[in-house]
Chain A
Amino acid sequence: MGNYTENALLIDGGTLHGASRGLGRATPRDGAAACDIRSWSFSPGGGDAAPTLADAFAQAVREVPIEDGASLALPPGILVPRVLSLPATDAESLASMVRLKMEELAPVSGDDLEVAYEALGATESATRVFAVAVPIHTLDALAADLEASGLAVTRIDSALLCEWRSISRHTEAARPADGEAAARGLFVAALPSGRFDLFAADESGLLFARSLGEPATGDDLRREITLSLLDIASEHPGFAADRLAFVAPDGTDPRFAEAASEAAGIRAETIREGDLTPYVESALDREGEGGCIDIVPPAWREDEEATQRRRRFTYGAIAAVAVWAVIFGVMTFIPRNIAGDTAAARRKIAAIMPQFSEVAELRTRVRLIQSYEDRTQSVLETLRQLCSEMPDGMTLATFAYEKTDDGSSSGRHGPGGIRATGDAADADSILRLKNALDEAGPFQPARIKGPTMDGQRRRFKFELDWRFKEGAE
């Protein structure tokens, strides 16, 4: 298992924020790991010299670095967000209902729209979801920027929802413990880019979320909040806010908080946030959570899978060719090496042949002379041994002798020996002669024919054949 890294990107105005968390070899969602946050500016309008969104993506890929892809949270200006309360039903029907609702709200036709949602909570009779819609041509433009930068997006999230997750966690701890009513509230978030977002929540969770744009003055903000409260009142007639939280970075004009208080008719609690860090961290924390919103079009995923398949196939083919090349190389090198050794040995043999032939001839002469002088297997010696062991009463009829041939002149190698035929008065004496020469002489055990009884002469005939032992010379 390799090192695991989580990466999340969030766009706010003309800044791309990135959070990265190295998890080492731990399993995903190891909360102990610290995250690294960076920002890259770009010009949303695409000025001549200013870096584009694609440039910002490329910088993020390079500097984080992002190898396994990242989630990307898009702002409300790109996505159309809406909290929907729908009847409780199965997932397929819920998806259809969400799509129908978002198609009604979106500025483009349904065929050119990508829709995604995330369940916020459910009761027995109703389900509340946070849905987003985005025109496909917007995603196509984003795809071009992503492709140009080499950034692989694993999930497209909603920056608005990331904000809400962070704000709800933050304000949950600060919520006054005065019962259920205190859970109903309005939350106005001011972002460093100048954008304001409004959230309304009841005891079941998020009820309403809308971007208020970038109001220039407190009056503009008041007007936007008032219009939004009218929407809330029409959609959720029973809702009445008990608190107003104004979440803003240091240095925000206090008149915006006053305008929000005036519009809501509730005194605002101001919560200071230094920058977007909590929201980006929230985007990162959502990585690995199940059921999060994801508006990546299926076509992108199919393309990515096809790319991955092609890559795996290419790597597999390269690996197979490499294995084959290594085996082929080794199998070619080894025989060549052996053949080279053999050729070298043959060359050395050829070089030594004149000296070898000379010594070999000398050796042949010596052995030949020695064989002529060797009398251990001479006919006289074998006759002497035969006669000395021959029992009384035995008569030899024939005697044949053949010296062991060393192949010197005949070219034939083979053990010589003696063969004797004759007769004896009794069979035992024949066997005694055989055994005596088998044990004492330079012979191998004899082959014997007989003894057979000659009825007329009343004598036992025999034929004995002794071969010299190999190397007995």
Chain B
Amino acid sequence: MAMMVSQREKAMLVVVGILLLYAMTIGVSFKRRMAEIADLRETRARAERELADKRALVARRDDWQRNYDAISGRMPVFGTTQRVQTHWMSLLNRLATESEVTLLKTQVGDEKEVGGVFETTIDCECEGSLEAFVPFLHAIYSEGAMLDVRKVSMRPQSGKGAGGLRATLSLCCAYMRADE
């Protein structure tokens, strides 16, 4: 059965269609814009947080300076061109000898700078009894220098040296450089 649509109904359909299109256009652009606004707000919040954090740190400048002044004297200072491996190696050899630990192999890593402080890693393999290793480690910690044990691996020595321990150590030493 054919449905008759009056002129008025056609006009109403057109008006409703236009209104729907209008609402959809407004809605879609509004939604897209709101998403952009949400992103922008997140970016602004991050920037404001970052600014607040940085301001807070700058505000505590005197505290950090005081702390640094109190402990910076314990950090060894070398010349800007001075090679530091020999210093640390001779220190390590002396401590090992005094503790009756035998250094089998040592390897000095690259120098790295963090915040104006330099760090160098020294990996070494050594042998000795447990009674020798404990004083050796104690001596490293007690030296007062910026020397830290980062990794240790110990296992019983086999073969000729059975009864002793074979260990792999990874040490880190920190220092600063200044114009001579």
Chain A residues in the interface with B (C-beta under 8 A): 320, 323-324, 327-328, 331, 334-335, 338-339, 341-342, 345-346, 348-349, 352-353, 355-356, 358-366, 368-373, 375, 378-380, 383, 397-403, 405, 408-409
Residues in chain B near residue A352, CB distance under 8 A: 51, 54-55, 58
B68 touching A364, Cβ below 8 Å: no
12-48 of chain B: CB within 8 A of chain A? 22, 26, 29-30, 33, 36-37, 40-41, 43-44, 47-48
Distance (whole angstroms) from the CB of B169 to the closest CB of chain A? 9
Distance A249 CA – B72 CA, assembled complex (angstroms): 120
CB nearest to B152 among chain A residues: A401
Distance A372 CA – B71 CA, assembled complex (angstroms): 11
- 5 pairs, A vs B, C-beta closer than 8 Å: A356-B57, A359-B61, A362-B68, A373-B71, A403-B150
Distance A403 CA – B140 CA, assembled complex (angstroms): 15
Q: A338-B41, A364-B114, A365-B117 are in contact. Are A355 and B72 (CB under 8 A)?
A: no
Q: Which of A355, A371, A379, A397 contacts B149 (CB 8 A)?
A: A379
B115 touching A360, Cβ below 8 Å: yes
Residues in chain B near residue A320, CB distance under 8 A: 22
A403 touching B149, Cβ below 8 Å: yes
CB nearest to A346 among chain B residues: B47
Distance (whole angstroms) from the CB of B171 to the closest CB of chain A? 11
Distance (whole angstroms) from the CB of A338 to the closest CB of chain B? 4
Residues in chain A near residue B60, CB distance under 8 A: 359
Distance A349 CA – B48 CA, assembled complex (angstroms): 9
CB nearest to B41 among chain A residues: A338
B141 touching A402, Cβ below 8 Å: no
CB nearest to B149 among chain A residues: A379
47-68 of chain B: CB within 8 A of chain A? 47-48, 50-51, 54-55, 57-58, 60-61, 64-65, 67-68
Q: Besides the contacts A369-B75, A372-B172, what 13 more A-B pairs have beta carbons closer than 8 Å? A: A328-B29, A338-B40, A352-B55, A352-B58, A359-B57, A362-B68, A364-B114, A366-B64, A373-B71, A399-B155, A401-B152, A402-B151, A409-B114
Distance A397 CA – B75 CA, assembled complex (angstroms): 37
Q: A349-B47, A365-B116, A409-B114 are in contact. Are A342 and B141 (CB under 8 A)?
A: no
A331 touching B51, Cβ below 8 Å: no
Distance A356 CA – B174 CA, assembled complex (angstroms): 23
Number of interface residues of B (CB under 8 A): 53
Residues in chain A near residue B141, CB distance under 8 A: 375, 378, 380
Q: A339-B40, A402-B150 are in contact. Are A349 and B50 (CB under 8 A)?
A: yes
Residues in chain A near residue B48, CB distance under 8 A: 341, 345
Q: A335-B40, A399-B152 are in contact. Are A409 and B65 (CB under 8 A)?
A: no
A369 touching B47, Cβ below 8 Å: no
Q: Which of B33, B41, B117 contacts A368 (CB 8 A)?
A: B117
A403 touching B148, Cβ below 8 Å: yes
CB nearest to B32 among chain A residues: A331
Distance (whole angstroms) from the CB of A417 to the closest CB of chain B? 11
Distance A400 CA – B55 CA, assembled complex (angstroms): 42
Distance (whole angstroms) from the CB of A47 to the closest CB of chain B? 48
Distance A338 CA – B37 CA, assembled complex (angstroms): 8
A356 touching B58, Cβ below 8 Å: yes
CB of B84 within 8 Å of the partner chain = no
CB nearest to A374 among chain B residues: B148
A361 touching B58, Cβ below 8 Å: no
Q: A364-B114, A408-B119 are in contact. Are A345 and B72 (CB under 8 A)?
A: no
CB nearest to B59 among chain A residues: A359
Q: A368-B115, A400-B154 are in contact. Are A378 and B149 (CB under 8 A)?
A: yes
Distance A398 CA – B157 CA, assembled complex (angstroms): 10
A409 touching B44, Cβ below 8 Å: no
Distance A320 CA – B26 CA, assembled complex (angstroms): 10
Residues in chain B near residue A373, CB distance under 8 A: 71, 74
CB of B164 within 8 Å of the partner chain = no
Distance (whole angstroms) from the CB of B73 to the closest CB of chain A? 10
Per-residue CB contact flags for chain B residues 99-124 toward chain A (1 = under 8 Å, else 0) read: 00000000000001011110101000
Distance A334 CA – B152 CA, assembled complex (angstroms): 59
Q: A362-B65, A380-B134, A409-B172 are in contact. Are A331 and B30 (CB under 8 A)?
A: yes
Distance (whole angstroms) from the CB of A150 to the closest CB of chain B? 28
Residues in chain B near residue A401, CB distance under 8 A: 149, 151-153
Residues in chain A near residue B43, CB distance under 8 A: 338, 342
CB of B137 within 8 Å of the partner chain = yes
Distance A305 CA – B150 CA, assembled complex (angstroms): 93
Residues in chain A near residue B65, CB distance under 8 A: 362
Residues in chain B near residue A356, CB distance under 8 A: 54, 57-58
A331 touching B29, Cβ below 8 Å: yes
Per-residue CB contact flags for chain B residues 68-91 toward chain A (1 = under 8 Å, else 0) read: 100110110000000000000000
Distance A232 CA – B71 CA, assembled complex (angstroms): 132
Distance A379 CA – B167 CA, assembled complex (angstroms): 13
Residues in chain A near residue B67, CB distance under 8 A: 366
